Amino acid sequence: MDKYEIFKKNINKLINIDLNYYKEKQMKRRIISLMNRNGFNDFDEYFSALKSNKDLLDQFINYLTINVSEFYRNPAQWHILEKEILPKLIEDTGKPLKVWSSACSTGEEPYSLVMLLSKFFDLKDIKVLASDIDDGAIEKANLGIYSEKSLVNLPDEFKVKYFDKLGSSFKIKEIIKNQVIFKKIDLLKDPFPVNMDLITCRNVMIYFTDEAKDLLYKKFHKSLSDDGILFVGSTEQIILPERYNFRSVRTFFYKKIN
């Protein structure tokens, strides 16, 4: 067994993240780059350091879980969500929606969802579950401080109403933060919440193998309520969604069929 295979096994034992689910070449290249940057040339040596140095381990986990996010990422899709998807879901359910941002990174997506839902419901009736595998990302999300760049696509009405200027940064107001429940969930290993009306899983699947995608689409299907919607990223259309009992209702939006 080569050293990288041993490294993957050891990492799984140490932090319960199975690197076999990630695209091999891409992940190996990223890890070697980080390892070399920290002055290690050998997987065994690097793993020993990760075991004994918490800062190094935190850096490794943070690097592994790629956090690139912004408010209203791909605005055209948010427009469809507002004008077509949400009104139909609300009409079908007749009550506040159960919403899960399943790889929430540093919080831009779940906070965007709360702001958008505030057009349909009182804030006190909105709750969005937001999960990520990375503790550091969840900490940043809880802090709720963002650069101007990450707000570039956000409608002006939300910027004015829900943010306070903090130097050159923007801090999201507590009335939005309070409607999001953050939780650490490993999509590949942990159980999913149930009866969700809308699940977002955007710009995550691109890092996974076909085997991992297959597993996740089945888990998402089970997690959704009847007629619930899965909203995916702009490079992540599901090929033959019927295999997973989904039907495409608009590009990037898939409805559960039973």
CATH number, domain of 141, equals 3.40.50.150
Terminal CA-CA length for the chain: 43
Same domain for 50 and 106, yes or no, is no
Same domain for 60 and 120, yes or no, is no
Same domain for 56 and 90, yes or no, is no
Structural domain that includes position 103: 75-256
Q: Is residue 96 part of a domain?
A: yes
Averaged pLDDT of the chain: 92
Rounded to whole angstroms, the Cα distance separating 171 from 18 reads 35
DSSP calls for the chain: --HHHHHHHHHHHHH---GGGB-HHHHHHHHHHHHHHTT---HHHHHHHHHH-HHHHHHHHHHHS-----TTSSHHHHHHIIIIIHHHHHHHH-S---EEETT-TTTHHHHHHHHHHTTTS-GGG--EEEEES-HHHHHHHHHTEEEGGGGTTS-HHHHHHHEEEETTEEEE-HHHHTTEEEEE--TTTSPPPSSEEEEEE-S-GGGB-HHHHHHHHHHHHHHEEEEEEEEE-TT-PPSSGGGGTEEEEETTEEEE--
245 band by pLDDT with thresholds 50, 70 and 90: very high
Same domain for 119 and 196, yes or no, is yes
Same domain for 44 and 101, yes or no, is no
Rounded to whole angstroms, the Cα distance separating 236 from 27 reads 19
Is residue 184 over pLDDT 80? yes
> What is the number of domains present in the chain?
2
Q: Is residue 69 part of a domain?
A: no
Spatial CB neighbours of 167, under 8 Å, sequence gap ≥ 6: none
Same domain for 221 and 106, yes or no, is yes
The reported pTM is 0.82
Is residue 67 over pLDDT 60? no
**Final residue of a structural domain among 17, 39, 64:** 64
- The model's pLDDT over 117-151, given as tens digits with 9 standing for 90+, comes to 999 999 999 999 999 998 888 888 988 888 888 99
Q: Is residue 70 part of a domain?
A: no
Same domain for 115 and 9, yes or no, is no
Same domain for 53 and 79, yes or no, is no
